[in-house]
Chains A and B, each alone.
Chain A
């Protein structure tokens, strides 16, 4: 029985669907309620904090022994910024926690927080990315006088020549406005103090429980063994729940200080103002094209607004350095010059959000291709055909090595699926009736499942990447897999069970996977960056493979044959070319209870394995067909097609779910979601009345076609697929809008392409609504 490749219903779902999931807010128990008092101003000097008498309130002065959160990149161009857990002197963004209230229930805590008066001498805030780069602004942090916290540059030797030889130079200014990952469950934590041992257990809605333990222990100067971190069921993370936030340090500090249990359940306004944002980026691109449409050279100035602080552990380099390294994308580009900066402002901190820079990179490259195609009179598909990488492994100008992919084949399949000639005929007929249809393509590759080499190359002091998996078969023949990954909705437990089932010859429901508990799992890096199936999957396969080998050795001794002639399937160890077999459960019991019989074998069935791969590139082509209402500027997505190559699919249904969810967030990026600050740094979009995720009414059915390129870079043959949907969709949607509006010669270079922005362009093009 092969379990890999089957759309097995998710093992996680029965309990979640029956309401038996257990989230942080389900685990408050008798804990006291914690409420943070947050800065009403984006920037200024704290001159006093008035605390109502008879209340339990702590400020930065009380936490003076706590170290600031200060992630490090070992690069000469990186400026390390410390984020005080609670500030003493200054506030740096609106919504920053400045004091903490402990009360008997959430309403009382909020009442008290209302009465804590923070006296701040306000200063002019720096909000806008390019304003922060303008000379003469008082810097956000004195350590970074230019407001640049990280900067990377490179230039290949032939770049200038490429521009000299270009038949067409395309210059673009592109903008992506800020977004929030907006997970369904906000952040939250419960810190439980054990009086007997002095240990604290922090249960929190996070993606990296081990990292959180290290970060908190370092900040508080405690030993890691005195802290246990549990990530229970987590209602979405998308990167927002990777980072160490001050609130979690404060919770553990409070539990130890007060010797009692404390709980903080973040509300939506806090999540919008003070968790993390992303995608606030401005890119200036120059592309040098040959007459035949080949991209000869690319010169880029990339700016990312990283907000007030640097996220721990990945740092504020995560967006700018990703942008620098991966801008060329799926295209065979020889000459590349780039300057990429992370710019600090008086706004909420940037942290990874599904796709990290690549939605903007792909948007930029795909808009570049479209503009070049139009200028050079080449078809959209044809210009990509002439530029896509077709020989692998491919070394990019930034030194990345792309493993086998199907860039061209995926695009051809996508073009075929929409029947372009038929669409063009329908488009022409619709235009005569005043309906404006358009088709847009987006081709990209996505580096996934990368281990320590990739992070070390960034100069990170804390280098994540590997995963350790412990695999134990108990005497009944059931398996427990302990993983350092920390799934939170991805269905990873089902996929890993399928993988391990095939190694051990038992059914997936006999495999229990333990994650998200630092007391019960090996040190690991959690779930992010499209990594878990590749890396935790690889380590699981290796660990289970070791257990399988031991089972075969035991079986061979019992049945007087060689281990090589044993296969494990359907619960049995079978001797090939014979009808001799032993139940795996019998072998498991023997491994524990008859261990004296097996020479050269240690007792039991417990193995551990590590996997630390270099990374593997998945790839996809997205196609959107849209209709634009030229009088309202509204866009309706008629069809959305994804041709995806993620190697071997362990569970195709789960992969489809990842793609569909990613595309929905990509559509949000393309058309709907935008975090807006006013010029003083006040957040104007602090609720779902003003920040607009699309609903099921706005997201069409996602049509998915799979391709399968097997890469030697992944031992499970699977490539990562968590982020691709979000990466490809914005470019496809906006290209489709521009195609729809081509009779008016309109170009769009800004995300999201809201009805107002589209209408603004149409108005400028002379399309009135009142004529």
Chain B
């Protein structure tokens, strides 16, 4: 339960951090909140030769909204979302989802961007980012690039980030007042990772769904956007009948993984339930 030996850097600026990344590349890990990395190091499941602690880099600690949407810096803690960071449905959704993430002390340390970089398939933030078309801003000494969330996750604990890149910011498009959202998660205990969860966002005008976003998480090696079902939703009413249909098709469309916590059959059942409950909340 003691980590293997490592070197430790605590740069005070982003450029210093990027220089270290450029120098050490695969040998290093970024330490932000450390809520996943540090236990993994203590178990010696992760053995980075070098830790780059970014907690002193004040320029990464921000969350702000503008007409392009929400911008979340790499050091924004989960707890920052307890209160609404932006007016309207997006801020409310973030606030609701944040309360499902682990426990209060963990939320004070762990970061939004760190969750994405860690890429746990049962992470609430990975589901939210996937479902709501987030963009990841990766920075390196070579420059900066924007990665669409659909291209970001490569699988469990695996992303498109290059060894010299830092996940500097996550950007979410704005969500106008016409949107309604729903989130449902099932976990064994309060604060556990989800065994199944769904996030739905609907823009309803005069009883007709005009736009829809629907995703499920905790099911396979990454969060899944259910685009075909989104298309089914658009143009009709978000009726109970429609919700049941979507839940049934979600159930049929996923190929869940099995592990000691849940069999594929059980996860599939949870997908249908989560989709139904998330959509019901969004349509209410």
Contacts and interface: CB of A to CB of B under 8 A. Distances in A.
Contact of A631 (B2, B3, B189, B269): B269
Contacts of A268: 1
Interface string A674-704: 0010000000110101101011011000000
B260 A685 contact: yes
Contacts of A269: 1, 43
B269 A763 contact: yes
A225 interface: no
Using C-beta atoms within 8 Å of the partner chain, give the interface range for chain B: 20 to 34
Contact of B189 (A114, A267, A698, A771): A698
Interface string A626-637: 000001111000
Given A695-B191, A697-B190, A756-B266, A770 B251 contact: yes
A698 B251 CA distance: 28
B267 to A, nearest CB: 9
Interface stretch (A105-113, A129-137, A456-464, A641-649): A105-113
B273 A692 contact: no
B247 A107 contact: no
A689 B270 CA distance: 20
Given A114-B4, A114-B44, A685-B260, A632 B186 contact: yes
A107 B189 contact: no
Contacts of A267: 1
Interface in A728-760: 754-756, 759-760
Interface in A105-128: 106-107, 110-111, 114
Contacts of B244: 770-771
B263 A769 contact: no
Contacts of A694: 189
Given A692-B192, A697-B189, A756 B263 contact: yes
B205 interface: no
Contacts of B188: 672, 692, 754-755
Nearest to A758: B266
Using C-beta atoms within 8 Å of the partner chain, give the interface range for chain A: 20 to 34
Contact of B272 (A106, A110, A770): A770
B248 interface: yes
Contact of B248 (A755, A760, A771): A771
B183 to A, nearest CB: 15
Contacts of A107: 2-3, 5
A134 B86 CA distance: 64
A106 B260 contact: no
A178 B250 CA distance: 35
| Chain A interface mostly | loop
A197 B156 CA distance: 58
A758 B247 CA distance: 21
Given A692-B188, A755-B188, A631 B5 contact: no
Interface in A16-68: none
B147 to A, nearest CB: 29
A442 B250 CA distance: 41
Interface in B124-139: none
Nearest to B184: A632
B270 A769 contact: yes
Contact of B4 (A111, A754, A768, A771): A111
Interface in A256-303: 267-269
Contacts of A763: 265, 269
B273 to A, nearest CB: 4
Interface in B158-205: 186, 188-192, 195
Nearest to B275: A770
B262 interface: yes
B42 to A, nearest CB: 8
30 contacts: A111-B5, A267-B1, A268-B1, A269-B1, A631-B269, A631-B272, A632-B270, A632-B273, A676-B260, A684-B260, A685-B260, A690-B260, A692-B189, A692-B192, A695-B189, A695-B190, A697-B189, A697-B190, A754-B188, A755-B186, A755-B266, A756-B263, A760-B263, A763-B269, A768-B269, A768-B272, A769-B270, A769-B273, A770-B244, A770-B250
Given A268-B1, A698-B189, 10 more contacts: A107-B5, A110-B44, A676-B260, A760-B265, A768-B269, A769-B273, A769-B276, A770-B248, A770-B250, A770-B251
